[in-house]
Amino acid sequence: MRTLPTILALILGLSITSKADDRPNIVFVFSDDHAPHAIGAYNGWLKSVNPTPEIDELAAEGMLFQNSFCTNSICGPSRAVIQTGKHSHKNGFMNNGNSFDWNQQTFPKLLKKVGYQTALYGKSHLKGHPQGYDDWMVLPGQGLYYNPDFITPEGKKRIDGHCTDVVTDLAVQWLKEKREDGKPFMLMVQHKAPHRNWMPAERHLHLYDDIEMPEPTTLFDKWEDNTLAAKYQELEVDGHMHINHDLFLDLTPDFDDDKELKTDKSAFRNLQRMSPTQVKAWRDAYGPKDEAFHKANLSGDDLVRWKYQRYAKNYLRCVKGVDESVGRLRDVLAELELDDNTVVIYSSDQGFYIGDHGWYDKRWMYEESFKMPLIVNWPGVTDGGSVNMELVQNIDYAPTFLAMAGADIPDDIQGKSLVPLLKKEQEGKFRDAVYYHYYEYPSVHMVPRHYGIRTDRYKLMKFYQFGEQWEMYDLEKDPDELTNIYEIADKELVDGMKKKLEDLRVHYDDNSHQPEYTLEKKKEFWPTFAK
């Protein structure tokens, strides 16, 4: 004979099951350093080479967020923000040297509490073993492009193949073999690509060989109107991109490596663990190009243009693998008849410089690295080909996932659910401004710490370690951010932006900035102060 508590439990269980049946599955495809202007649907200057047909199709069937931004443009911190829905200073992961506290509240833990099955494959970059996932396999640190190692609950495991394909394979295997039928799920597919050192899959080594990539209009920018911060960075295609380790010139497994050279050597290390077949394909692709380069004897602007072409093509070759991954995952969802009730989301941890302003990498609050792609296809909810212009950030992802699942959103989450935007139920403006804070300095690429805000039209930034180093831009008149109007703009406008900045710092409870450097420290990093 069943007792009353047992009957109530059964009733409750049936209720939960019924609710779960109606809740959407979520597939979150998350790449690394994929700039929106390297996605066709964003209509940027690389659109003509058709870099992302699969992601473009996702956008054509869903909603594209035109003004999507990160809170801190660097790999690990962006991921920590997504896990927690909190700014870096609140989740404790402010730069890549930190270790993420997995014991804290994260959205996958909250999803599990409301009956979701969760899985994570690919790049985590948060150190430690992920919590809140029923199944996971993650790359150690940045991971490798070819024959990568993975950290698993059982220990380290090497899987042969190209990393983008391997991560996709793991996700497909989970969908087909490990997923529990009838239970809603959250699947995170997190790619290393197109992160430095931009090593494409074998099948893409010759992609774009027959074309010239369009050049950004700002390739030869001299940062004449920026603060000193832009002049003392170390991320120039011209002066800092390594012609061997970044662009693979003459790079072989037995390359005569300079052990004292301080640059990213992961491509060289990766070549050393390639199979003979992989190495042959690599040399067949790059050997003739290297010979042509040596014969050309380039210098000056011609050399910069060669470096840009080599870089942009390798970058987009890596993007191609990610794009194919999106298409393959969507095909599997259709095959399993899950596509009608699965939200597919594409995003990346931040934007990236693809020669814009003469740079590569990210970190700045300038648009190219500050903007991150966000495309959401929610069958039956989002209108195909719709574009949303509201200001959104990666702090909004966690509450959005929770809202989709019908879970409560904790009060300490700093982001806002995007569900009202996706359902076109938002009343009034979603947000007047977004807040940004970057911390990793002094470090690789030497981009100073700075914070700032962006509204629909204006951007205000402060590089606070070097005194009153301010920049302000009118994005409507100056989308490339070439003219710093801080000293010439109407004082009332500037003061209003400064007040808005301080209001947001208070709102997000951010007191994490460091004091101004001493004069001697300034002289050490910025020679101008020594004059």
Sorted by where each begins, the domain ranges of the chain are: 206-309, 436-530
Q: Is the pLDDT of residue 4 over 70?
A: no
Closest CA to 374 of 39, 24, 23, 26: 39
> How far is 38 from 40, CA to CA, in rounded Å?
6
For 461-471, how does the pLDDT look when each residue is reduced to its tens digit (9 = 90+)?
999 999 989 99
Mean pLDDT (whole number) for 268-276: 96
> How far is 306 from 238, CA to CA, in rounded Å?
10
For 317-372, how does the pLDDT look when each residue is reduced to its tens digit (9 = 90+)?
999 999 999 999 999 999 999 999 999 999 999 999 999 999 999 999 999 999 99
Phi, psi of 167 (to 5 degrees): -60, -40
pLDDT at residue number 198: 98
More confident of the two residues 513 and 60: 60
* CB contact at 8 A, 374 and 49: no
Residue 153: other Cβ atoms inside 10 A: 10
Torsion sign, CA atoms 512, 518, 522, 525: negative
Percent of the chain with pLDDT over 90: 93
Amino acid letter, residue 463 = F
First to last CA, the chain: 90
Amino acid letter, residue 340 = D
- Categorize the per-residue pLDDT at 64 as very low, low, confident or very high, splitting at 50, 70 and 90: very high
- Categorize the per-residue pLDDT at 143 as very low, low, confident or very high, splitting at 50, 70 and 90: very high
Using alpha carbons, list the distances in angstroms from residue 326 to 63, 97, 111, 416: 16, 30, 23, 26
* CB contact at 8 A, 159 and 148: yes
For tokens 């940062």, name the residue. 223
Percent of the chain with pLDDT over 70: 96
> How far is 128 from 131, CA to CA, in rounded Å?
9
> How far is 454 from 231, CA to CA, in rounded Å?
22
The three state secondary structure string of 505-517 is HHHCCCCCCCCCC
Q: Is the pLDDT of residue 17 over 70?
A: no
> How far is 239 from 227, CA to CA, in rounded Å?
19
> How far is 400 from 107, CA to CA, in rounded Å?
10
pLDDT at residue number 21: 57
For 460-507, how does the pLDDT look when each residue is reduced to its tens digit (9 = 90+)?
999 999 998 999 999 999 999 999 999 999 999 999 999 999 999 999
For the segment(s) 436-530, the CATH number from 3.30.2010.10, 2.40.110.10, 3.30.1120.10, 3.40.50.11030 is 3.30.1120.10
For 403-441, how does the pLDDT look when each residue is reduced to its tens digit (9 = 90+)?
999 999 999 999 999 999 999 999 999 999 999 999 999
